[in-house]
Structure formats: structure tokens, C-alpha cells
Amino acid sequence: MASAKKTAAKKTAAKSSAKKTAAKKTAATSTAKKTAAKKTAATSTGKKTAAKKTAAKKTAAKSSAKKTAARATSTGGENLIVTSKLREAVRSQDVRMSSDLVEALNAHVHEVLTRAVARAKGNGRGTVRPNDL
């Protein structure tokens, strides 16, 4: 009888162990599924982020184009003056530069070029020369 109890106890222990093993496998599978879901979500989020970044760049480019167009209209044309170089030249003379100096100088350059082009055409030339300034 003691032998039968030991055998029954072994069977119960074996079943319990099998249940634990099955539970571990299920947990491992569940963890693997969660990890896969996280990776998919991360990839999906990455794609959305890339799409959002691209859209943001396009919007920024449009905004920049609008600002450039507005600046070109207000100053008489496209900006021909390099602000950083102008600032360096002014600072090297130990003076400060007003923020609207660039726009005023750009407008002046456009006027000078317009007159020079008109003079070259008036002289029957297709080339603007220094003496046209």
C-alpha cells in the first residue's frame, strides 16, 4: 500500500511538473508575442515618425519659400547680400550693424544692377561691364 501511495505521489508530482513546464512555455510564448508586438509597434512608430519628419520638412520648406518670396518683394528682388559676410565686414571696423541694413543694401544693389543692365542694353551690348555701374 505504501508503494501505491509513493507511485501516486510520483504521478501527481510528474503532472504538477508537466503543468509548470507547460505554464512556462505559455509564458515564454506570451513574452515572445509581446516582444514581437513591441518591435512591430516600434517599426510602425518609426515609419510614422519618418513620415511626420518628411511632412515637417516640406512644411518648413514651404514656409521658407514664402519668407524668401516676401523678402524678395519687399527688397526689390532676390537677396544678393550675404548677411554673415556683411556683418563680419562691419564688425571689423569696430561698429555695429542695424538689422535692416541688409535689406537696404540689397535694395540698393538691385537698383544699381537694374541701371547697369539698362545701360548695357542701351549701348547694344548683352554683357554688363564694370563701366556700366
DSSP assignment of 9-67: HHHHHHHHHHHHHHHHHHHHHHHHHHHHHHHHHHHHHHHHHHHHHHHHHHHHHHHHHHH
CB 97 within 8 A of CB 87: yes
Answer whether 0.75 is exceeded by the pTM: no
Contacts of 30 (CB under 8 A, 6+ apart): none
If you classify domain 76-133 with CATH, what class do you get? mainly alpha
- Cα separation, 67 vs 79, in Å, equals 11
Confidence of residue 127 (pLDDT cuts 50, 70, 90): very high
Q: Domain coordinates of the chain in residue numbers? A: 1-74, 76-133
3-state secondary structure of 8: helix
Looking at residue 53, what is its pLDDT? 73
**pLDDT, tens digit, for every residue of 67-109?**
655 555 555 678 889 999 999 999 999 999 998 999 999 999 9
3-state secondary structure of 4: helix
Looking at residue 69, what is its pLDDT? 58
**pLDDT, tens digit, for every residue of 18-75?**
677 666 666 666 666 777 666 666 555 555 577 777 777 777 766 666 665 555 555 5
**pLDDT, tens digit, for every residue of 3-16?**
666 666 666 666 66
The DSSP result for 67-131, as a single string, is HHHHHHHHHTSS--S-HHHHHHHHHTTT----TTHHHHHHHHHHHHHHHHHHHHHHTT-SS--GG
C-alpha cell at 79: 537677396
CA torsion, ordered 18, 22, 25, 27, to nearest 10 deg: -130
